[in-house]
A and B are shown apart, each in its own frame.
Chain A
């Protein structure tokens, strides 16, 4: 299926008679990417489902005002990242839990068969990623899984390219060490 261009989506959305068609095209193009981006951060499917819906409702409400000063995908990604971070912060406050214990809670949920069906290496990789600080985890996921360029990640997070390169380098080193300690040979 040929991917529609973002410019076409924005143009169609700007006109009331083609707005719904444009939004359907947008959902077809981005809903899975955004789902997986959020899922890797919050782990739980039901939480992800709520967040992804909220993200696209915000996109629907604000796409008319989108100024084209960034890529459409970057803009949607930014909304999704912010929603996920806000959700994780609320979870910390609600349970009065320190950050590292939130990550430990998320890691524990990985072993639930309803959540995860990967092999041992897949499980260890996700556990390794959850040991990373929140920002570093986001950077790792965006670079490793989504293969975004550093400039694109910079536009999403508002962090410099140099800092992102350093962050990703450290994240990879930590994951490598974790995997080796868990006898997952490279």
Chain B
């Protein structure tokens, strides 16, 4: 009868065993050996040991509580500047805004207004240039030209002014 029930159960549940952790039996062997050794050690009933002064623990209690009271007195009261995180972030945002504004204003005041070169009149550019520099540039341009301009500087100057516009001279320079 019992065998029938056992067979029935095995048939239904496959005869599965309970799960056991990995390496359990190896660890169990070690644990048991350790417990046996500890029990043997305790069985020696080792008595006596470290000496403690009389009434030490009562005095220890008093010493510790005295030191905690001293600690409480010494700690200065901490007043929190910011009561909440919102205030903290708002302060940081205001600071950044002020710094950025200051930098912007400073930038506007110190940056010199330099006129663009094309806006300057050609007359102004020519006025600032050395005549020799003008002549040198024009001479370089004319190196390929077979005809030569003979004559003295006055003739050369007249030639340049008659054959080249102000724009040509300024552009090449």
By a CB distance below 8 angstroms, the chain A residues around B142 are none
Evaluate contact between B40 and A186: CB separation under 8 angstroms: yes
Residue-wise interface mask of A (122-166) relative to B, using a CB-CB cutoff of 8 A (1 in contact, 0 not): 100110000000000000000010000000000000000010011
By a CB distance below 8 angstroms, the chain A residues around B47 are 118-119, 122
By a CB distance below 8 angstroms, the chain B residues around A184 are 44
By a CB distance below 8 angstroms, the chain A residues around B41 are 125, 144, 172, 175-176, 179, 186
By a CB distance below 8 angstroms, the chain B residues around A93 are none
**Nearest residue, chain B, Cβ from A169:** B34
Evaluate contact between A45 and B51: CB separation under 8 angstroms: yes
Instruction: Among A57, A125, A168, point to the contact of B46 (Cβ < 8 A).
Output: A125
Evaluate contact between A117 and B57: CB separation under 8 angstroms: no
Please measure, in the bound complex, the distance between the C-alpha atom of A129 and the C-alpha atom of B125, giving whole angstroms. 98
Minimum distance in angstroms from A70 CB to a CB of chain B? 22
Evaluate contact between B50 and A39: CB separation under 8 angstroms: yes
Is A77 an interface residue when CB atoms closer than 8 A count as contact? no
Question: Considering the complex, which residues of chain B in the window 51-105 have a beta carbon less than 8 Å from any beta carbon of chain A?
Answer: 51-53, 56-57, 60-61, 63-65, 67-68, 71
Given contacts A45-B53, A165-B31, contact A122 B46 (CB under 8 A): yes
Is B48 an interface residue when CB atoms closer than 8 A count as contact? yes
Residue-wise interface mask of A (32-54) relative to B, using a CB-CB cutoff of 8 A (1 in contact, 0 not): 10010001100101000100110
Is B27 an interface residue when CB atoms closer than 8 A count as contact? yes
By a CB distance below 8 angstroms, the chain A residues around B33 are 169
Residue-wise interface mask of B (143-169) relative to A, using a CB-CB cutoff of 8 A (1 in contact, 0 not): 000000000000000000000000000
Minimum distance in angstroms from A175 CB to a CB of chain B? 7
Evaluate contact between B68 and A23: CB separation under 8 angstroms: yes
By a CB distance below 8 angstroms, the chain B residues around A121 are 44, 46
Is B37 an interface residue when CB atoms closer than 8 A count as contact? yes
Evaluate contact between A116 and B49: CB separation under 8 angstroms: yes
Question: Considering the complex, which residues of chain B in the window 10-41 have a beta carbon less than 8 Å from any beta carbon of chain A?
Answer: 27, 30-31, 33-34, 37-38, 40-41
How many B residues are at the interface, by size bracket? 20 to 34
Chain A interface helix/strand/loop/mixed: helix
Evaluate contact between A53 and B64: CB separation under 8 angstroms: yes
Evaluate contact between A117 and B34: CB separation under 8 angstroms: no
Chain B interface helix/strand/loop/mixed: helix
By a CB distance below 8 angstroms, the chain A residues around B30 are 165-166, 169
By a CB distance below 8 angstroms, the chain B residues around A61 are 71
Please measure, in the bound complex, the distance between the C-alpha atom of A34 and the C-alpha atom of B64, giving whole angstroms. 13
Please measure, in the bound complex, the distance between the C-alpha atom of A119 and the C-alpha atom of B44, giving whole angstroms. 11
Minimum distance in angstroms from B129 CB to a CB of chain A? 79
| B-binding residues in A (CB < 8 A) | 20, 23-24, 27-28, 31-32, 35, 39-40, 43, 45, 49, 52-53, 56-57, 60-61, 114-119, 121-122, 125-126, 144, 162, 165-166, 168-169, 172-173, 175-176, 179, 184, 186
- 28 A-B residue pairs with Cβ-Cβ distance under 8 Å, sorted by A, are A24-B61, A24-B65, A27-B61, A45-B51, A45-B53, A53-B63, A53-B64, A53-B67, A56-B68, A57-B64, A60-B71, A115-B51, A116-B48, A117-B48, A117-B49, A117-B51, A118-B46, A118-B49, A119-B47, A122-B48, A122-B49, A169-B33, A172-B34, A172-B38, A172-B41, A176-B37, A176-B41, A184-B44
Closest 5 CB pairs of A and B: A118-B48, A186-B40, A122-B46, A118-B49, A60-B68
